[in-house]
A = this chain, B = another copy of it.
Amino acid sequence: MKTLDIATVSKRSGLPASALRYYEEKGLIASVGRQGLRRQFAADVLQRLNLIALGRAAGFSLDDIARMFGPDGRPAIDRERLSAKADEVDRTIVRLTALRDTLRHAAACPASDHLACPSFQRLMRQVEGTR
């Protein structure tokens, strides 16, 4: 099995080597050995890093993510938590949508003081309402 040098993994994943070492320390990824001093990784580490990036984007902490990989190293993902997270992300989307509309309005509205603009106020309340 061809292994990847840390520099290669860094280049392909876009993560600095220091972050990869940090992830290894946290148990998120594992190196398969060394060549001299240099860590070597199995090729599937790249997919794992994608998965980690996915989790991060979903708002999971690195510790959360570490717990999602079973001790065997395979993803042992709790479906309920995923579902809950999907709902949470969904709420975030609703919120951000209201927010985006508010920002667009503020950018376009000619009123000098947004605080005085009724539609700005309405939009702001809408953002509030989604909390």
Contacts and interface: CB of A to CB of B under 8 A. Distances in A.
Interface string A34-72: 000000000010010011011001100000000000000
A50 B128 contact: yes
Contacts of A74: 113
A103 B127 contact: no
Contacts of A21: none
A93 B100 contact: yes
Interface of A: 44, 47, 50-51, 53-54, 57-58, 74-75, 77, 79-80, 82-83, 85-86, 89-90, 92-93, 95-97, 99-100, 102-104, 106-108, 113-115, 124, 127-128
Given A54-B99, A82-B107, A85-B103, 16 more contacts: A51-B115, A53-B128, A57-B95, A57-B96, A57-B127, A58-B99, A75-B115, A77-B114, A79-B106, A79-B107, A86-B103, A89-B103, A90-B100, A92-B96, A93-B93, A93-B100
